[in-house]
Amino acid sequence: MMKGRYFLAGGGNEKQSFQVDELFCKSVSKILYIPIAWNNVKINEDYKSHLEWLSTSLGKFGINDITLLTDLDDDVNLNDYDGIYIGGGNTFKLLNFIKKSKFNLKLINFVNQGGLLYGGSAGAIIFGSEIDISLLCVDRDENKINLQDLNGLNILKNIDVQVHFQPGQIEIHKDYVRKTKRNIIAIPEESAIIVENDECLVVGLKPVYFITENSCISFENNSRFIIK
């Protein structure tokens, strides 16, 4: 049984994600930051600017101990941290890095042992059943690396996760469910879900949507729903 929690955010800016950022930071003090999904970073480029951005974003909540991890093959002990933050960017690139290094096993084990994991945008999508849903995103991904294995880390019982979601996209996402037979949790930029065992808590300024082939249920801030 899951002992920790997943914070899956819709990919908004600092103002939009304030509520979920605050809740995450209330429960952690030492964070491992993984920004490797970012699209415009070359392989050997310094990620210092990314670290500066996150340090500023979370510093307002009293977080001042953030370690950068850009090579998932490095020998890092996740037990040295109480929180992991996976940033956004290209979902295909991110999932490829995580699976090639078998880091997905470390992440799941980290949460099962009580750790807290924050995934923003692409960092949220990878925890769904499959990541091809990112092709429907407003901030559309491209599978430039021609990744064939699109299976996500699947913490949500064969449900896909969509981010940057807008209500005008409901019908195309229903069509997606009809085609794939996988329901969707759709998260706008202003909101997030906190997943603990089989329950999701909605946090944020706009509703989160649970989409099936024939229905779309909205959940407002502080409401809860069970993953089925």
pLDDT at 11 over 70: yes
When pLDDT is cut at 50, 70 and 90, the band that residue 86 belongs to is: very high
| Contact by Cβ (8 Å): 111, 4 | yes
pLDDT tens per residue across span 128-156: 999 999 999 998 899 999 999 999 999 99
Taking only the tens place, the pLDDT of each residue in 36-58 is 998 665 554 568 888 999 999 99
CA distance 218 to 156: 18
Distance CA 186, CA 207 (A): 9
Whole-angstrom distance, CA of residue 87 vs CA of residue 122: 7
Question: Is 160 in contact with 128 (CB distance < 8 Å)?
Answer: yes
**Does residue 100 register a pLDDT over 90?**
yes
Q: What are the tens digits of pLDDT across the range 175-197?
A: 999 999 999 999 999 999 999 99
Range 20-31 average pLDDT:
97
